[in-house]
Structure 1
Amino acid sequence: MPSPLLTFRKSLISVAIGLASTQALAAEADLNTTVITANRAATSIADIPATVRVIEAEQIQQQMRGGSDFKDALAQLIPSLDAGSQGRTNYGQYMRGRSILVMIDGVSLISSRSVSRQFESIDPFNIARIEVISGASSVYGGGGTGGVINIITRKGTPGEPRFDLETGVKSGFHSDDLDSQLAGAVSGGNDRMDYRISASLRKTGAFYNTEDEEILQDITQTSSQYGDQVDLMANTGIQLDDEQHLQLTAQYFKNEQDADRFSYFGPNYAGFTDPSQVSVEDGLQLDDQPETERKLLNLQYANDDLMGQQLLVQGFYRSEALQFYPFPRAASQTVSASNQETEVYGLKAVMVSQLSADTSLTYGADLSRETFDSRQQYYNFADAAASGGLVYNPDVSTGRYPGVEIDEMALFLQANSQVTDQLTLNGGLRYQYANAKIDDFVDTDQQYLVATGQLPYADAVPGGEADYNTTLFNLGAVYSLTPEHQLYANFSQGFEVPDPAKYYGYGNYDGSNLISGINVADNKADALKTDSYELGWRYDDGQLRTQLSAYYSISDKRISNSSRNLSVSVLDEKKRIYGLEAIADYRINSNWALGANLHLVEPEKKGDGWQALEAYYASTHKLGAHVDWNQGPLNLRLQGMKVYDYKDDAGRELDGYTLFDLVGGYDLPVGNLSFGINNLFDTDYQTLWSQKAQMLYAGLTSPAVVTFEGRGRTLGLSYAVQF
Structure 2
Amino acid sequence: MNHTFSVISLAVVGSLLSLPLVAFADDGIERIAIHAERMPSELNAIARSVSVIDENMLRQQFATANNLAEVLAKVVPGMAPPSPALSNFGTTIRGRNALVLIDGVPMNTNRNISRDLHNLHPSQVARVEIFRGGNALFGSGATGGVIYIHTKTGQAESQQHSRIGLKSSLNELSGDALSYLVSHASSGEAQGWLYRVAGSTEKTNGYYDADGDRLAPEPSQGDSYDSPIYSLDTKVSKEWDNQKLTLSALWYSLEQDSDYASDPSAATEPYITKARAIKGLQLDKQNEIKNLVLNAQYQRLLTEDATLHTQAYYRDYAARFAPFDGRPFATWDHLAQTYLESSNIGLRITINTQLSDSIELDWGLDTNDERSEMPVTTYDGQVYDDSNGLVFQPLGDKDFVPEISHKSLAGFTQIRAKISNQFSVEGGLRYERIDASFKPFVTLGSQTAVPGSSYDYSSFVYNLGGTYNINDDHTLYFATNEGYDLPDIGLQIRYASSQFDLSQSNLEPVETTDYELGWRGVVGPIAANFAYFTSSSDLGNVKSENMGLALSRNKVRIDGFEASANYQINTAWSVDINYSYINGEEKPDGKIDYTTMNGFSIPPNKLAAVLGYESDSGWNSQLTWLNVAGKDYRLDGKNAFGRRDTESYNVLDWQNSFELGAGMLTIGIENLLNEQYFSLYSQLQRNSNNTSSIPGRGRTLSLQYQFNW
Is TM > 0.5 for Structure 1 vs Structure 2?
yes
Residue 24 and residue 157 in structure 1: after superposition, are their counterparts in 2 closer, same or farther (change >3 A)?
A: farther
Deviations 1:651-708 (A, max 9, x none): 33232211111111221132111111111111111122222334xx34xxxx122211
2:307 aligned partner: 310
Instruction: Please report how far the alpha carbon of residue 147 of structure 1 lies from its aligned counterpart in structure 2 after TM superposition.
Output: 1.1
Instruction: Please report how far the alpha carbon of residue 543 of structure 1 lies from its aligned counterpart in structure 2 after TM superposition.
Output: 5.0
1:656 aligned partner: 648
SS in 2 for 1:382: helix
Residue 397 and residue 102 in structure 1: after superposition, are their counterparts in 2 closer, same or farther (change >3 A)?
A: same
Q: Which amino acid aligns with 2:408?
A: E
1:718 aligned partner: 704
Deviations 1:232-291 (A, max 9, x none): 00010022x2211100010111011011222233xxxx5543579973222221111110
2: distance between equivalents of 1:194 and 1:401?
43
1:519 pairs with one of 497, 501, 513: 501
1: distance between equivalents of 2:561 and 2:599?
19
5+ residue gaps in structure 2? Answer: 1-9, 23-28, 638-643
Does residue 461 of structure 2 align to residue 472 of structure 1? yes
2: distance between equivalents of 1:258 and 1:123?
18
Is 1:32–1:45's contact at 8 Å kept on the other side of the alignment?
Answer: no
2:665 pairs with one of 657, 670, 673: 673
Is 1:506–1:518's contact at 8 Å kept on the other side of the alignment?
Answer: no
Does residue 580 of structure 2 align to residue 625 of structure 1? no
1: distance between equivalents of 2:561 and 2:41?
25
Does residue 577 of structure 2 align to residue 596 of structure 1? yes
Count residues in correspondence.
673
Is 2:467–2:476's contact at 8 Å kept on the other side of the alignment?
Answer: yes
2: distance between equivalents of 1:579 and 1:277?
33
1:291 aligned partner: 288
1:154-173 counterparts in 2 under 5 A? 154-159=152-157, 161-173=158-170
1:12 aligned partner: none
2: distance between equivalents of 1:521 and 1:425?
39
1: distance between equivalents of 2:347 and 2:65?
38
Instruction: Please report how far the alpha carbon of residue 94 of structure 1 lies from its aligned counterpart in structure 2 after TM superposition.
Output: 0.7
Residue 21 and residue 368 in structure 1: after superposition, are their counterparts in 2 closer, same or farther (change >3 A)?
A: farther
Residue 303 and residue 23 in structure 1: after superposition, are their counterparts in 2 closer, same or farther (change >3 A)?
A: farther
Residue 505 and residue 285 in structure 1: after superposition, are their counterparts in 2 closer, same or farther (change >3 A)?
A: closer
Q: Which amino acid aligns with 1:578?
A: D
Instruction: Please report how far the alpha carbon of residue 141 of structure 1 lies from its aligned counterpart in structure 2 after TM superposition.
Output: 2.4
5+ residue gaps in structure 1? Answer: 1-19, 448-458, 509-513
Residue 542 and residue 443 in structure 1: after superposition, are their counterparts in 2 closer, same or farther (change >3 A)?
A: farther
1:28 aligned partner: 20
Deviations 1:571-614 (A, max 9, x none): 34211111111221121111211110111111111243232112
Instruction: Please report how far the alpha carbon of residue 327 of structure 1 lies from its aligned counterpart in structure 2 after TM superposition.
Output: 1.2
Deviations 1:191-235 (A, max 9, x none): 831000000222211121222111221121111211111110001
2: distance between equivalents of 1:133 and 1:40?
12
2:386 aligned partner: 386
Does residue 555 of structure 2 align to residue 563 of structure 1? no
Instruction: Please report how far the alpha carbon of residue 502 of structure 1 lies from its aligned counterpart in structure 2 after TM superposition.
Output: 1.0
Instruction: Please report how far the alpha carbon of residue 648 of structure 1 lies from its aligned counterpart in structure 2 after TM superposition.
Output: 2.8
Deviations 1:626-660 (A, max 9, x none): 11123323222112111111223503323221111
SS in 2 for 1:614: coil
Instruction: Please report how far the alpha carbon of residue 316 of structure 1 lies from its aligned counterpart in structure 2 after TM superposition.
Output: 0.2
Residue 300 and residue 358 in structure 1: after superposition, are their counterparts in 2 closer, same or farther (change >3 A)?
A: same
2: distance between equivalents of 1:356 and 1:180?
55
Residue 27 and residue 219 in structure 1: after superposition, are their counterparts in 2 closer, same or farther (change >3 A)?
A: closer
Q: Which amino acid aligns with 1:576?
A: R
Q: Which amino acid aligns with 2:509?
A: A
1:6 aligned partner: none
Deviations 1:416-450 (A, max 9, x none): 00110110110010001100012222211134xxx
1:452 aligned partner: none
1:329-340 counterparts in 2 under 5 A? 329-331=326-328, 334-340=334-340
Instruction: Please report how far the alpha carbon of residue 524 of structure 1 lies from its aligned counterpart in structure 2 after TM superposition.
Output: 4.4
2:674 aligned partner: 682
Is 1:559–1:571's contact at 8 Å kept on the other side of the alignment?
Answer: no
2:632 pairs with one of 647, 651, 665: 647
Does residue 145 of structure 2 align to residue 142 of structure 1? no
| Farther off after superposition, 353-362 or 304-313 | 304-313
2: distance between equivalents of 1:139 and 1:69?
27
Instruction: Please report how far the alpha carbon of residue 563 of structure 1 lies from its aligned counterpart in structure 2 after TM superposition.
Output: 2.5
SS in 1 for 2:449: coil
SS in 2 for 1:86: coil
The TM-score with structure 2 as length reference comes to 0.91
1:610 pairs with one of 571, 574, 594: 594
Is 1:603–1:619's contact at 8 Å kept on the other side of the alignment?
Answer: no
Does residue 466 of structure 2 align to residue 502 of structure 1? no
1:89 aligned partner: 87
Q: Which amino acid aligns with 1:624?
A: A
1: distance between equivalents of 2:544 and 2:256?
29
Q: Which amino acid aligns with 1:325?
A: A
1:59-74 counterparts in 2 under 5 A? 59-67=57-65, 69-74=67-72
Is 1:22–1:36's contact at 8 Å kept on the other side of the alignment?
Answer: no
1: distance between equivalents of 2:229 and 2:11?
32
Q: Which amino acid aligns with 2:144?
A: G
Instruction: Please report how far the alpha carbon of residue 86 of structure 1 lies from its aligned counterpart in structure 2 after TM superposition.
Output: 2.2
1:451-490 counterparts in 2 under 5 A? 459-490=448-479
Q: Which amino acid aligns with 1:612?
A: T
Is 1:584–1:597's contact at 8 Å kept on the other side of the alignment?
Answer: yes
Residue 279 and residue 645 in structure 1: after superposition, are their counterparts in 2 closer, same or farther (change >3 A)?
A: closer
1:573 aligned partner: 554
The TM-score with structure 1 as length reference comes to 0.89
1: distance between equivalents of 2:413 and 2:11?
14
SS in 2 for 1:689: helix
Q: Which amino acid aligns with 1:583?
A: S
SS in 1 for 2:421: coil
Is 2:435–2:456's contact at 8 Å kept on the other side of the alignment?
Answer: yes
Residue 583 and residue 21 in structure 1: after superposition, are their counterparts in 2 closer, same or farther (change >3 A)?
A: closer
1:446 aligned partner: 446
Deviations 1:159-212 (A, max 9, x none): 3x2101222111114241212211110000168310000002222111212221
2: distance between equivalents of 1:136 and 1:570?
24
Residue 346 and residue 507 in structure 1: after superposition, are their counterparts in 2 closer, same or farther (change >3 A)?
A: closer
SS in 1 for 2:184: strand
Residue 599 and residue 359 in structure 1: after superposition, are their counterparts in 2 closer, same or farther (change >3 A)?
A: same
2: distance between equivalents of 1:121 and 1:38?
19
1:554 aligned partner: 536
2:238 aligned partner: 238
Q: Which amino acid aligns with 2:180?
A: S
2: distance between equivalents of 1:62 and 1:137?
30
Q: Which amino acid aligns with 1:368?
A: N
Q: Which amino acid aligns with 1:382?
A: Q
1:44 aligned partner: 42
2: distance between equivalents of 1:23 and 1:293?
38
Deviations 1:494-548 (A, max 9, x none): 001110011124246xxxxx5xx54314424111100010001112589533211
What is the RMSD computed on CA atoms of the aligned residues?
2.2
SS in 2 for 1:119: helix
Instruction: Please report how far the alpha carbon of residue 37 of structure 1 lies from its aligned counterpart in structure 2 after TM superposition.
Output: 4.8
2:426 aligned partner: 426
Q: Which amino acid aligns with 1:545?
A: A
Does residue 685 of structure 2 align to residue 704 of structure 1? no
Does residue 404 of structure 2 align to residue 404 of structure 1? yes
Is 2:563–2:578's contact at 8 Å kept on the other side of the alignment?
Answer: yes
1:280 aligned partner: 277
| Farther off after superposition, 40-49 or 416-425 | 40-49
2:25 aligned partner: none
